[in-house]
Amino acid sequence: MTAVLGVSAAASAPVRAQDAQSMLAEWGIDASALMQGSEDLLLRAPDPAIDGLFQAVHASARTPAEARALCGLFEPDADRSLAGLNQVATQLGEASRARFADAAAQAFVAAAQNPRQPYDPTQAQQWMKAAGVRAALLNDGFSTGLTGADRDARCRAIGQLLDALQSRPLGERAAVTRLLLGEGLARIAAVPAQ
């Protein structure tokens, strides 16, 4: 989920993974400026638009092959560059790519039409922790799966966490989504161009 904006952009027009950053450079787009603009987008898009991004991730996480592709982004050695995100996007089905592209487009339009939205990252962290506690109470092996080395168990735990977030009010989901996407954008911006 941390890289949903990059996956959304890549999903709308997949290209060969190794060409993603060079393509941006050819278009005169600075990847770091793109990421910084995305951070502003997260703060301007209203909760329903941000929730659309969450719903796109949640829906993809319910399909085993797509969940594995998305879960790969949570691995410590994951390639979170634009090329890596493009590679993940190519592993998603047509419906999921369309869902991500639609959600991203709606978020972009809504962000352009709105001022910054109220957002408290400390509260979002608390809601994220509460969702983790709910997931742990409802699912045996959640904590071990999330923190262990077993990739399949980690992927199941991420799905369980998404399910726990799905049951929360829109404002909580949107705040946690902003938090996770903001962290993901920071990681993408830190990846050097290839």
Torsion angle of C-alpha atoms 74, 75, 78, 81, degrees rounded to 10: 20
Query: What is the structure's pLDDT at 11?
Result: 44
User: Is the confidence at residue 35, as pLDDT, over 60?
Assistant: no
Q: 107: buried, middle or exposed (CB in 10 Å: 19+, 13-18, 0-12)?
A: buried
Percentage of the chain exceeding pLDDT 90: 48
Angle (CA) 150 146 122, round 5°: 155
Please report the DSSP string for 62-118 in residue order.
TSHHHHHHHHGGGSTT---SHHHHHHHHHTS-HHHHHHHHHHHHHHHHHHHTS-PPP
Contacts of 42 (CB under 8 A, 6+ apart): 50, 111, 178, 181, 182, 185
Q: 157-166: buried (b, 16+ CB within 10 Å) or exposed (e) per residue?
A: bbbbbbbbbe
Domain borders along the chain are 4-190
Q: What is the pLDDT of residues 76-135, one digit of tens each?
A: 777 777 677 778 888 899 999 999 889 988 988 999 899 999 999 999 999 999 999 999
